[in-house]
Structure 1
Amino acid sequence: MAVMFKLSLSYLSKNKIQNTLIALLLLLSTLLVSTAIVILANTGNQFKEMHSRTNGSHQILTFDKGLNDPQAVHDWWAAQNGVQVSPLLTYRILSGITFGGADIPNLYLYMMNTPPPPWSVDELVFASGTQHSAPEQGSVWIPTSMANAYHISVGDTVGFKTGSSTLELNVSGIVIDVPYGAPFSNTARVWMNPTDYQHDLATLAGNENRMMGIHFNDYSMNSVYWERYNRETGIPFLESKMEFEAIASFYLIINQVIGFIMIFMGVVMLSIALMTIGFTIADAILANYRTIGILKSLGLTSQKTIGTYVIQYALLSIVAIIPGLALSIWISKWIIDISVSSLRVGNQNIPVQGLDAAILAGVLLFALVILFTVLYAKKARSIQPVQAIRYGMSETDYSRMAGRMNSPLAHWIGFTRLPVTAVLGFRHVFKNIKSSVLTLLLTTMASSVLVLGYVLLTSITGIEQTAAKWGYDNANIAAVVVNKGNFPKTELKQTLEEDSRISNAGWQGNTTGVISPESSATVKGQSISLNLSVLDGSYQELGFETLKGVNPQHANEIAIGVSVAKTSNKDLGDLIDIYIEGEKRTFLITGIYQAIANMSVSGRITIDAMRSVNPGYSEFDVIFINVNDMAQAGKVASELNEQFKDFASVVTQKTLLDSVYAEAANILIYPMSLIGLLFIIVTFIIIFSTCRINIRKESRTYGIYKSLGMTSRQIRLSLTMGMFILSSMGAILGIFAGVYLLPILLEMVLSGYGIVQLPLILHWGGMVLFTCLSIIAASLGSWFSSRIIREASPRMLVIE
């Protein structure tokens, strides 16, 4: 045992740099795998805990169309056993705020008349500020999502646009409002003092609306309650209904995307790490072939020879895995805090679960390292002392290597016609097939990760280019109606028609449709409530896209979201029965589309279809506007917004989308950068380590080259050139993997949110630039590993 331990320590001390890099590789592998496990284990936990703590709503009913009596609906639900309801909340809608001297558009606010406590549903949790029964006069409570997005703190003054004037109110509290506090949302509930609400908002034009939250003791029974509601009241619910899945979706989507990417990359990283350790051991045995042969001739057994490597890598693993676990816990907390910051109370760290799973992963990694060490070190058993002393390897390996260098492929490449430096570079690649395959695999993965991260961030920050593929319109300008009661539709319509800069416009409203239980193929006995877009105009002209088929053009046609198609088991050409305002209509499905809004639980119909049910329908929520010259879009939007600011918020499409998705890009950039950086570091470490082993193994050959007149610089350049070419091949493969293969994994996650084909923006220049990082890392790893050639004399190299 003493001999084994001394040999292990000698191996550790002899190759300090190489062993340090192996330990660093193990640390990074532990870091990525453990971080991924913790993030994945915590996906949804914080939301579920806060939803339970606040007794959060499973459904939000909004009464803004005048189709149901709010008080009657509230009373019916309040009388049900197993159901809890919030107070019937009154509110008015405002659009946009001013803060810090800047105008913030595309923020739609439910200005709430705060009811007296206690609330049985959707209790507010204070993240900052002092809790009271209601905001003090002259102050408001705002949700964490709004505060985080615009860096608003307690004590700040915010101006709320009320049309021609601005209502200045002080922020006295920042609250966690689960139904309307998700990140990436442009809708928020602002809680006002009842006196302020009556004094400042009662005189505004427009209607006062109501909403209520419903909490089910058993959410899976909600369809039973709704069937009872329809049966007992005799009037279907025709107003807007927000489901639990929609409430939870934006809390969960980022963590699920990050966790899924990291767990996949962690598995890849772990596989590469274990392969690298295996190759390192195999090459170390080959490099020490003569030494092992001499030791075996002196009586050292094969088991003890294997034991020396087991002890060596066990020590390295312990030194690397423990700090890797500690770092992974810290980094996972950091990422989780960023991704669910809207659920954080003050400066308190969000409790993290799954630490036991991370420790178990570290133990498993240690066991795998030992297992791979034993499997690869078994090669030491077959070492024959005579062959080891003569060839420095087994006679079989020696013959195979010589045959490889004289193979038809080598002659086809034409080594005899290439410059000496090129021949040496290619020789290094072909002679060390295992390390070359590892290099190719590693640079492919590193390149694919960098490309995926770049493409994903580019696609989100430039979402206005692919808005239609995410389920949005592709119009240049959107005018969102805020004050429906006195909205001057005729005046706006005339203004749009008279403005020569405007090419076309479309008026969109929303209503609720219900698919009857007999049409639901997945859950028998349950109806499907979907958001129906009603367009007075052309879907095609306004840029709405479909995955299959076309958008509706006639009163009997409909396009449905992919989630609706899947749930109801419908396809193009099928008929579907939908109840609109209590009347049954049969539609022909002409198109199927994807949309992240409403998770594709939606449909598109024409204004003619709606007016076949309600001839006087005119409840339009947004007007889409196209201009002849895109450069004029900002100016046109600004002029229209100034003219109709009392009734609508008019902004460009880019402003509309950036206000929602810029936050998502800001959150994603950190974990994606971390993963990319780790892969670059690992690429450098592995290639440095394997190249150093191969160079030491062939030290006599390079000594002969130097004795024949080649300089150290020429030899190093030739080795780096071979690595550059090999890594370039891997980088090219990585581009295609990052663009065409890895996004398929993301689509598996996003399909639950209504996106089955991830819309990507491909900037090839940027992708090539990021890909070059993996090539640079590989080339630098090869260049720095060859320093031993420069530092050694030809005589000493030959002696070695």
Structure 2
Amino acid sequence: MTAILKLGLSYLIKNKIQNLFITLLILLSTFLVCTAVIILANTGYQFKEMHSRTNGAHQVLTFEKGLNDPQKVYDWWTAQNGVQVSPLHTYRILSGITLDGIDISNIYLFMMNTPPPPWNADQLVFTAGQESASPAQGSVWIPASMAHSYNIAVGDTVQFKTGAAVLSRKVSAVVVDIPYGAPFSNTARIWMNSSDYQHDFTGFAGKEQHMMGIHFDEYSSRSSYWDRYSKETGAPFLETTMEFESISSFYLIINQIIGFIMIFLGALMMMIALITIGFTISDAILANYQTTGVLKSLGLTSRGIMSTYLIQYALLSFIAVIPGLMLSVFLSKFIINISASSLRTNHGHVPVEGIGAAVFVGLLLFLLVIIFVMLYVQKNRMIEPVQAIRYGMSEIDYARMTQRMNSPLANAASFGKLPVSFVIGVRSLIKNSKSSVLMVLLTSAAASVLVFGYLVLTSITGIDQTAAKWGYDNANIAGVVVDKTMFSRAALQSALEEDPRIQNVGWQGNITGVIPSDVAASITVNPSISLSLGVLDGSYEDLGFETLKGSNPERENEIALGVSAARMLKKDLGDLVDLYIEGKKRTFMISGIYQAIANMSISGRINVQAVRSINPGYEDVDAAFINVVDPSQAGVVAAQLNERFKDAVSIVTQKALLDDSVYKEAANILLYPMALMGLLFILVTFMIIFITCRISIRKENKTYGIYKSIGMTSGSIRSSITLGVALLSLIGSMFGVIAALYLLPLLLEKVLSGYGIVQIPLVLNGWGILLFASLSIFAAAVGCWLASKEIRRASPRMLVIE
């Protein structure tokens, strides 16, 4: 036993750098896999915990069209058993916000008249500031999502625009506001002192609007409540309904993306780690073949020799798994913190789930290492002392290697036909076929991770280039109505018609389409009773709206459905669908199906004639989409129009509308984990290439000694080997780019299909793809070059004698 321990420890000491890198590889594998497990376990956990804590709304009813009496609807719901209802909130729409003298665009605000407690549903949770029953006079509460997006802290003064007037208010608290506090949201509720609200808004033009939240004890029972509502009131609910899926989608989607990427990369890292360990053991056995033969001839058993490797890698795994597990807890908590920042409070630590599962995975990885070691060291049983001493390998392996080196491919790379440096590099790869396959797999994995991460980030930051594929319009300018009491469509339309720079314009309103109860009852998965309908006065095609299949509606009896709505209704192109619009039933033919991240694709598109067939006086406008003759002038035109109509409409370019505070925030959240994973894969590529090249070089000491004895310099030999590895890495990176462009997006689409995105719109930048793909080649080349230092230190004479 003493001899076995000494041999095992001697292997650790002999190959210090190699064993250090293997330890780091196991550590990183544990780190990445366990982080993925914890993030997956926490996907949605914090949202569900906070939603439960606040008795959050499953549906939010907004009364903005005058089609239902808010008080009557509120009274009906408060009389129901099994539901809790928030107060009937009254609010005014603000036309803008200014912070430190700078106008913040692309955020739409509701100034809420804060009701006294208690609230039965849709409660607020304080994350900063002094907790109180209502804001103090002269102050407001703002949601955490808005505070984080614009770096607003307690004590800051913010100016709110209310038409022509401006209200200055001090932020006294930051709160978690579930329905309107999701990350990337551009709508927020500002909570105002009730006395201030009554004083400041008395005499303002227009009328107050109302909203209320409903929390169901059993969310799946909501359709039965709405059936009862329709029967008892004699008509369906006709105002806007925000469903739970829409409330939760932006809270969950980022963690879903990060969780998917981490799980995929964790599994990939685990596979690479185990293959590398197995390869290292195989080559270690081969490198020590003669030594093993001598030891066997001296009486040491195969089991004893196998135990030396088992001791070595068990110790390395034990050293690596524990810190890897500990680091995974810190990283996962960091990622969870930034991805759920709008739910984070300052009154306690962030609860992290899944640590037990991560410990189990760490132990599993440790056992997998041991199992792989036991499988690979079985080769020791087949070592014959005579063959080992004579060939340095088994006679069969020696014959295979000789046959491979005499193959047509090897003969093609001969000294007489190609440059010497190229031949040395290529023949080294052919001779060490297992390590060559590993290098291809490794550089493919690294390139796919780096390129895919780059594509995800650039596709989000460059969303203005693919806006139509995300369900938005593709017009040059968007004007969003922020105060309908101040808005005049005729005035804006006249200004646009007089401006020769304007090419065309479309006017969009939004209404709710209610699914009849007999259709809703047939939906077995995530039943929904309403669709968000976009109503366009203009051409969908001119404004760049796209569909996955079919076309946008052109006639009043046509509708385009979002993919989630079509899936829920089990409808396809040419099918008929019945909807209640403003209390009247209409039948539409499905002309197209599209995807949209907004409302999780539980939506539809119709033209204005469809609504005017029900309500001839329909002129409701929520947004104006404007195309200009010269797109380069879009910024100038938008700024001039916005200055003229800013009291009622926020007019910005398409890029500004999509970038500001929305997808820029998503990119910032994804940046840290994606950058970390990219760096990890570059590091792993470097380490594994270093290990494999070091092993291969040690096996070829005699050959390189002969090269040096006939006049080749150490630098030329090292350059030749590095060139071969770089060429092999180039091949691997090409496979990686193909996987990043075609395979990984397909897998991510499976994750995002539940959020209404079935085809990921990628923004392709050839130079960027080339740069990130080349990083894996660079890491491989550097690893090989550093591993070949032994050639420089070795004496030609000693190498030949050995």
Bin the TM-score by the shorter chain: over 0.9
Counterpart position of 1:253: 253
CA displacement at 1:525 relative to structure 2: 12
Check whether the contact 1:517–1:526 (CA below 8 A) recurs between aligned residues. Answer: no
Identify which range, 625-634 or 588-597, moves more after superposition: 625-634
Counterpart Cα distance in 2 of 1:525 and 1:349 = 33
Identify which range, 479-488 or 599-608, moves more after superposition: 479-488
Counterpart Cα distance in 2 of 1:99 and 1:506 = 32
Matches within 5 A, 1:60-139: 60-139=60-139
Counterpart Cα distance in 1 of 2:549 and 2:623 = 25
Identify which range, 483-492 or 274-283, moves more after superposition: 483-492
Check whether the contact 2:562–2:593 (CA below 8 A) recurs between aligned residues. Answer: yes
Check whether the contact 1:95–1:105 (CA below 8 A) recurs between aligned residues. Answer: no
- What SS does the aligned partner of 2:749 have? helix
- What SS does the aligned partner of 1:475 have? coil
CA displacement at 1:528 relative to structure 2: 3.2
Counterpart Cα distance in 2 of 1:347 and 1:324 = 29
- What SS does the aligned partner of 1:106 have? coil
Check whether the contact 1:95–1:106 (CA below 8 A) recurs between aligned residues. Answer: no
- What SS does the aligned partner of 2:18 have? helix
Counterpart position of 2:670: 668
Counterpart position of 2:508: 508
Change (3 A) 1:597 1:526: closer
Counterpart Cα distance in 2 of 1:471 and 1:408 = 55
- What SS does the aligned partner of 1:670 have? helix
- What SS does the aligned partner of 1:307 have? helix
1:627 maps to 2:635: no
Counterpart position of 2:9: 9
Counterpart position of 2:564: 563
Counterpart Cα distance in 2 of 1:79 and 1:421 = 86
1:603 maps to 2:604: yes
Counterpart Cα distance in 2 of 1:295 and 1:725 = 39
CA displacement at 1:411 relative to structure 2: 2.8
Counterpart position of 1:202: 202
Counterpart Cα distance in 2 of 1:275 and 1:125 = 49
Q: Residue deviations 1:647-670, cap 9 Å, x none?
A: 111111111100210000000011
CA displacement at 1:517 relative to structure 2: 4.1
Counterpart position of 1:496: 496
Counterpart position of 1:479: 479
Counterpart Cα distance in 2 of 1:165 and 1:390 = 95
Counterpart position of 1:708: 710
- Return 5+ residue gaps in structure 2 as ranges: none
Counterpart position of 1:760: 762
- What SS does the aligned partner of 1:417 have? coil
Counterpart Cα distance in 1 of 2:648 and 2:205 = 9
Letter of the 1:316 counterpart: L
Counterpart Cα distance in 2 of 1:597 and 1:316 = 49
CA displacement at 1:768 relative to structure 2: 0.3
Matches within 5 A, 1:352-501: 352-413=352-413, 416-501=416-501
Q: Residue deviations 1:512-544, cap 9 Å, x none?
A: 002224445532995631001100000000110
Counterpart Cα distance in 2 of 1:633 and 1:702 = 66
Counterpart Cα distance in 1 of 2:772 and 2:525 = 50
Counterpart position of 1:38: 38
Counterpart Cα distance in 2 of 1:154 and 1:409 = 71
CA displacement at 1:485 relative to structure 2: 2.7
Check whether the contact 2:95–2:647 (CA below 8 A) recurs between aligned residues. Answer: no
- What SS does the aligned partner of 2:61 have? strand
Counterpart position of 1:698: 700
Change (3 A) 1:416 1:206: farther
CA displacement at 1:414 relative to structure 2: 5.2
Q: Residue deviations 1:137-177, cap 9 Å, x none?
A: 11100000000000000000011122333211100000011
Counterpart position of 1:326: 326
- Return 5+ residue gaps in structure 1 as ranges: none
Q: Residue deviations 1:585-629, cap 9 Å, x none?
A: 111111000000000000000100011111111111111111111
Counterpart position of 1:792: 794
Check whether the contact 2:510–2:622 (CA below 8 A) recurs between aligned residues. Answer: yes
Q: Residue deviations 1:762-788, cap 9 Å, x none?
A: 001100001111000000110000000
Check whether the contact 1:43–1:255 (CA below 8 A) recurs between aligned residues. Answer: yes
CA displacement at 1:798 relative to structure 2: 2.2
The partner residue of 1:749 within 744, 748, 751 is 751
Counterpart Cα distance in 1 of 2:96 and 2:733 = 46
The partner residue of 1:769 within 756, 768, 771 is 771
CA displacement at 1:54 relative to structure 2: 0.6
Counterpart position of 2:535: 534
Letter of the 1:244 counterpart: F
CA displacement at 1:347 relative to structure 2: 6.8
Change (3 A) 1:603 1:415: farther
Counterpart Cα distance in 2 of 1:524 and 1:706 = 72
Counterpart position of 1:21: 21
Letter of the 2:427 counterpart: R
Letter of the 1:554 counterpart: R
Check whether the contact 2:513–2:533 (CA below 8 A) recurs between aligned residues. Answer: yes
Check whether the contact 1:207–1:484 (CA below 8 A) recurs between aligned residues. Answer: no
Counterpart position of 2:182: 182
Change (3 A) 1:202 1:413: farther
Counterpart position of 1:223: 223
Counterpart Cα distance in 1 of 2:233 and 2:359 = 56
Letter of the 1:538 counterpart: S
Letter of the 1:589 counterpart: I
The partner residue of 1:730 within 729, 732, 741 is 732
Identify which range, 401-410 or 375-384, moves more after superposition: 401-410
Letter of the 1:352 counterpart: V
CA displacement at 1:101 relative to structure 2: 2.5
Change (3 A) 1:506 1:345: same
Matches within 5 A, 1:301-316: 301-316=301-316
Counterpart Cα distance in 2 of 1:763 and 1:511 = 39
Counterpart Cα distance in 2 of 1:78 and 1:536 = 38
Aligned pairs, number = 800
Counterpart position of 1:687: 689
Counterpart Cα distance in 2 of 1:192 and 1:699 = 79
Check whether the contact 1:562–1:754 (CA below 8 A) recurs between aligned residues. Answer: yes
Q: Percent of aligned positions with the same letter in both sequences?
A: 66
Check whether the contact 1:140–1:172 (CA below 8 A) recurs between aligned residues. Answer: yes
Counterpart position of 1:649: 650
Counterpart Cα distance in 2 of 1:676 and 1:95 = 43
Identify which range, 326-335 or 200-209, moves more after superposition: 200-209
Check whether the contact 2:94–2:162 (CA below 8 A) recurs between aligned residues. Answer: yes
Check whether the contact 1:680–1:777 (CA below 8 A) recurs between aligned residues. Answer: yes
CA displacement at 1:13 relative to structure 2: 0.2
- What SS does the aligned partner of 2:210 have? strand
User: What's the TM-score, normalizing by structure 1?
Assistant: 0.99
Change (3 A) 1:446 1:79: same
CA displacement at 1:636 relative to structure 2: 1.3
CA displacement at 1:792 relative to structure 2: 1.0
Check whether the contact 1:95–1:107 (CA below 8 A) recurs between aligned residues. Answer: no
Counterpart Cα distance in 2 of 1:34 and 1:95 = 47
Letter of the 1:2 counterpart: T
- What SS does the aligned partner of 1:437 have? helix
Check whether the contact 2:163–2:486 (CA below 8 A) recurs between aligned residues. Answer: no
1:241 maps to 2:241: yes
CA displacement at 1:285 relative to structure 2: 0.2
RMSD over equivalenced CA pairs, Å: 1.2
Counterpart Cα distance in 2 of 1:369 and 1:763 = 40
- What SS does the aligned partner of 2:132 have? coil
Counterpart Cα distance in 1 of 2:353 and 2:507 = 48
Counterpart Cα distance in 2 of 1:433 and 1:297 = 30
Letter of the 1:548 counterpart: K
CA displacement at 1:235 relative to structure 2: 1.8
- What SS does the aligned partner of 1:135 have? coil
Counterpart position of 1:580: 581
Change (3 A) 1:525 1:312: closer
Letter of the 1:663 counterpart: E
Change (3 A) 1:443 1:347: farther
